[in-house]
Amino acid sequence: MNSQPLAERLRPRTLDEYIGQKHLVGQGAVLRQMIDAGHIPSFILWGPPGVGKTTLAYIISNKLNAPFYTLSAVSSGVKDVREVIEKAKSNRFFNTVSPILFIDEIHRFSKSQQDSLLGAVETGVVTLIGATTENPSFEVIRPLLSRCQVYVLKPLDKEDLLALLHRALTEDVYLKTLNILVRETDALLRFSGGDARKLLNILELVVAAEENSEKIEITDQMVVNRLQENPAAYDKGGEMHYDIISAFIKSIRGSDPDAAIYWLARMVAGGEDPEFIARRLVISASEDIGLANPNALLLANACFDVLKKIGWPEGRIILAETTVYLACSAKSNSSYMALEKATELVNRTGNLPVPLHLRNAPTQLMNELGYHNGYKYAHDYEDHFVEQAYLPKELLKERFWIGQENPAEHKLIEQMKRLWGDRY
């Protein structure tokens, strides 16, 4: 078998070979247009593992014929950043395109490391491409974030994964020499979880176990059996980290404190970053518990703050307390679902005009145009409420927030019914 990993052998070299992320690099998409025009801004690619962040950075560099520098946020210091910037300045004399500086796991860069990038990014000495699996707003400093676009990469969907599987079997120099028949794909897709690298690692594992056979028939049961025999074999690069945090959050969502504590213990034993766990608890408190128990968000946020103050190993006790509390708490995703529904409508209807009576009127001209006219100040009325339209007229019959059945939200629903009547 080829000594080079399958995922590396199949790494795309051009945008036409690149699979997935059509919303960014498909024909006519925003990033594709900038790449084709030969000019890109500094940006950060945010998405889960195995969706093509690093590959996309290399493709862009090749397409623009730009000098390419890369730094690891794990092993590079401020000195390394400054050395790369000096090299980039030298290269500008020989190339009209700004050198590209690619930083993987940019969320792991310290504040001082990020500060050292600011001047070079702002003046165009380098075009920064950062890659992160974490929400950039958590760990990327605001001045740097304001100088970068943020593009969100999505897990690969079924169509993308099947296209990648077909490419592996028909184009890989080694696999295409074997007699491989894929009878079932459900297990391959399920275990890959939208991660291209994981899919190829699993395929490589299954084929390696059968490569002496005249014919390799891949079935769901074969995939399950191979992964059970060697559960770490397809976890190259540490992707199990994401599976465990997923199990942790789903256990909290499912109100199982025993399972949640077990997965927390697995992360603690494995040396997981405590702040990574704490951030996930904050998100869970809002997404999965929400209005059913608003105190959950307060406790999760306190957990995050206290963890920074007291550090490790005592911080694990704070994580345990918060985990059990969230798992045992009443659950509601009504606010999350309201936002999802509203966002879908915004994407469908576009930028509908703000009603005149709700607009700000800081100038005389705006006053003359009727901005703010007819607005009723709620505090001037009984119960600090007066019925008036707050949505664009096209959306007056739309409902986004649907309260759920729990004691806390029941009070909110009753309040809305009292004020708005049949609307709620």
Angle between helices 53-64 and 30-37 (to 10 degrees): 30
137 is written with which tokens? Answer: 């707003």
Q: Are 36 and 81 in contact (CB under 8 A)?
A: no
Residue type at 16 in one-letter notation: D
Q: What is the pLDDT of residue 237?
A: 43
The DSSP element (H or E) to which 423 belongs, if any, is none
The DSSP element (H or E) to which 368 belongs, if any, is helix 364-368
Fold category of 21-152 in CATH: Rossmann fold (3.40.50)
Q: Where in the chain is the domain with CATH 1.10.3710?
A: 352-423
Q: What is the pLDDT of residue 421?
A: 84
Q: Give average pLDDT by consecutive 10-residue segment, the chain, 424 residues.
A: 78 89 89 88 88 91 87 77 83 70 86 85 88 82 88 90 92 87 89 87 87 84 80 50 84 91 88 87 93 93 91 89 93 90 85 80 62 77 84 84 85 85 79
For residues 66 and 95, give the distance between their C-alpha atoms in angstroms, rounded to a whole number: 8
Q: What is the pLDDT of residue 56?
A: 93
**What is the architecture of the domain spanning 246-328?**
Up-down Bundle (1.20)
Write the pLDDT tens digit of every residue in 291-339.
989 999 999 999 999 998 888 888 899 999 999 999 999 899 999 899 8
For residues 410 and 404, give the distance between their C-alpha atoms in angstroms, rounded to a whole number: 7
Residue type at 107 in one-letter notation: H
Q: Where in the chain is the domain with CATH 1.20.272.10?
A: 246-328
CATH class of 352-423: mainly alpha
Q: What are phi and psi of 124, to 5 degrees?
A: 80, 15
Write the pLDDT tens digit of every residue in 31-77.
999 988 888 889 999 988 888 899 999 999 888 888 888 887 777 77
Instruction: Please enumerate in sequence order all residues whose Cβ is within 8 A of that of 77, keeping only pairs 6 or more positions apart, or say none.
Output: 113
Q: What is the pLDDT of residue 236?
A: 43
Q: What are phi and psi of 180, to 5 degrees?
A: -110, 130
Q: What is the pLDDT of residue 240?
A: 60
Residue type at 386 in one-letter notation: V
User: Hey, how many other C-beta atoms are within 10 angstroms of the C-beta on 334?
Assistant: 19
Angle between helices 315-328 and 257-269 (to 10 degrees): 160
CA dihedral 217, 223, 229, 230 (to 10 degrees): 110
Beta strand segments in 263-410, E: none
Peptide bond into 353 cis (omega under 30): no
158-229 CATH? 1.10.8.60
Q: What is the pLDDT of residue 318?
A: 93
Q: Where in the chain is the domain with CATH 3.40.50.300?
A: 21-152
For residues 254 and 250, give the distance between their C-alpha atoms in angstroms, rounded to a whole number: 6
Q: What is the pLDDT of residue 363?
A: 63
Task: Report DSSP state, residue 80.
Answer: H
The whole-model pTM stands at 0.61
How distant, in Å, are the alpha carbons of 103, 157, 235, 364, 406 from that of 249? 28, 22, 20, 53, 21
Q: Where in the chain is the domain with CATH 1.10.8.60?
A: 158-229
Taking each continuous run of H as one helix and of E as one strand, the counts in the chain are 20, 7
Q: Are 297 and 275 in contact (CB under 8 A)?
A: no
The DSSP element (H or E) to which 409 belongs, if any, is helix 407-420
